[in-house]
A and B are shown apart, each in its own frame.
Chain A
Amino acid sequence: MKSELKLDIKSNKVLIIINLSKSFGNNQVLKEFNLELLGGESVVVLGKSGSGKSVLIKCIIGLIKPDHGSIHIFGHNIPDLDHDELDQIRAKVGFLFQSNALYDSMTVRENLEFPLRRYWLEISQMEVDKMVIDALEDVGLAHTLDMMPAELSGGMRKRVALARTLILKPEIILYDEPTTGLDTITSKEIIELMVEIQQKYKTTSLIISHDMNCVRMASERVVMLIDGKCYASGTYNEIIQSVDPKVKLFFE
């Protein structure tokens, strides 16, 4: 792969974002945003609606091309990669969509099998079945195997989407507003599941959210995305004690 960045292996940085900028017309959403993510870390990017959180996460996975800046995942600069190289990186990076993005014309089993298609010739159907069952058991929904997404509740769909993300055993999981549209109890269950999965598989998590419960329960570090920049960063306790008026607004 081209554009390899010589990384200090000891630093254990799996994701490095440098001076990331993205505009839509005259609206500059991200302005020289910087972020570093260590392996095994769980970071929540907190910002109000429309602050560019989803744009940031879509730039990281290569769905949106940034105007400027670099995004290095495992040493490879995402904007410089071609389609095949990007696919190799995406196999190691899971993405949980805000809307779940389950294929509504497929059953739960087929939804989970879909990401395995590119490995279809290398693994047997028995192995595929086992991987599907294991992923569903991780999220406590093994009984939904042959159900359609439309037959599931909002929380169940989120769990199935998480199982689909987990099936390729990603090293980094990107969560785009994982608790949006869920009630408080279901939100709490999803956050607990996210934490459990992070501890079980030692994954690195980048969570985009404006849900304070999610920030409090799932974050080891909080990054405040304000005015398109990384405005403040620290642990949850450090951030809530901040005297900066823009930061305090989130906790009032």
Chain B
Amino acid sequence: MIFAGKIGSSIGAELGSMKVTEQIDAMEVSGTNPFKYLVATRVLACTLMLPVLVMLGDSISLYGAYLGVNIHTNTSFILYWTQVFDNLVFGDVLPAFTKSFFFGFAVGIIGCYKGYNSSKGTEGVGRSANSAVVVSSVSIFVIDLLAVQVTDILGY
């Protein structure tokens, strides 16, 4: 959700601003395909980097949990991590990691679509950024809902 808010709005506003100031038209006139140059690169970056962020977030949260545990009990670092990996199963990691690719793709494509189709000057840019966040957030809920059903069917 933080990714949708930060990156979705950023892409929506950036492309929206480029659209209303004719920068996308200038790119097309220069013989550059703006879809490949602006949209494909951003969607690819979001799709590939959100899983990396998820892994980073998971690592930080596990380390945070170790600090939390250590406040109450004197648990060794090695013991904590051994117990974490003993209790983690494939089904805990794979579904969450896999769906983050879809979340990243959704945030990227929605941000680009809203920005690319921006109109009505600076007001339109604000609306594109806002709309990109709202639609991305809703799409994350929908994808998560579907992911839970699929995970359930597959027995993870």
Tell yes or no: A231 within 8 A of B by CB: no
Tell yes or no: B70 within 8 A of A by CB: no
Choose among B22, B31, B32, B33 the residue that contacts A101 (Cβ–Cβ < 8 A). B22
Tell yes or no: B23 within 8 A of A by CB: yes
**Residue contact B26 to A97, C-beta cutoff 8 Å:** yes
Binding site for A on B (CB under 8 A): 17-18, 21-23, 25-33
Which residues A90-134 have CB closer than 8 A to chain B? 90-91, 95, 97-99, 101-104, 114-115, 117-118
- Given contacts A98-B22, A99-B21, A117-B30, list 16 more A-B pairs with CB under 8 A: A58-B25, A61-B29, A63-B25, A83-B33, A87-B31, A90-B30, A91-B31, A97-B22, A97-B26, A99-B22, A101-B21, A101-B25, A101-B26, A104-B17, A118-B31, A118-B32
24 residue pairs of the A-B complex, CB under 8 angstroms, read A58-B25, A61-B29, A63-B25, A90-B30, A90-B31, A97-B22, A97-B26, A99-B21, A99-B22, A101-B21, A101-B22, A101-B23, A101-B25, A102-B23, A102-B26, A103-B23, A103-B27, A104-B17, A104-B21, A104-B23, A115-B30, A117-B30, A117-B32, A118-B32
The 3 closest A-B pairs by CB, nearest first: A101-B26, A101-B22, A115-B30
**Residue contact B26 to A103, C-beta cutoff 8 Å:** yes
Cα A111 to Cα B124 with chains together (Å) = 25
**Residue contact B31 to A115, C-beta cutoff 8 Å:** yes
**Residue contact A90 to B29, C-beta cutoff 8 Å:** yes
Q: Which residue of B lies closest to A98 (CB)?
A: B22
Inter-chain contacts of B22 with A (CB < 8 A): 97-99, 101
Q: Digit string of A133-157 for contact with B (CB within 8 Å is 1, else 0)?
A: 0000000000000000000000000
Cα A99 to Cα B30 with chains together (Å) = 16
Cα A94 to Cα B25 with chains together (Å) = 13
Cα A99 to Cα B26 with chains together (Å) = 10
Cα A118 to Cα B26 with chains together (Å) = 14
**A220 nearest CB across to chain B (Å):** 25
Cα A139 to Cα B44 with chains together (Å) = 39
**A32 nearest CB across to chain B (Å):** 26
**B13 nearest CB across to chain A (Å):** 13
Inter-chain contacts of A63 with B (CB < 8 A): 25, 28-29
Choose among A83, A98, A104, A114 the residue that contacts B30 (Cβ–Cβ < 8 A). A114
Cα A115 to Cα B26 with chains together (Å) = 9
Cα A95 to Cα B31 with chains together (Å) = 12
**A175 nearest CB across to chain B (Å):** 13
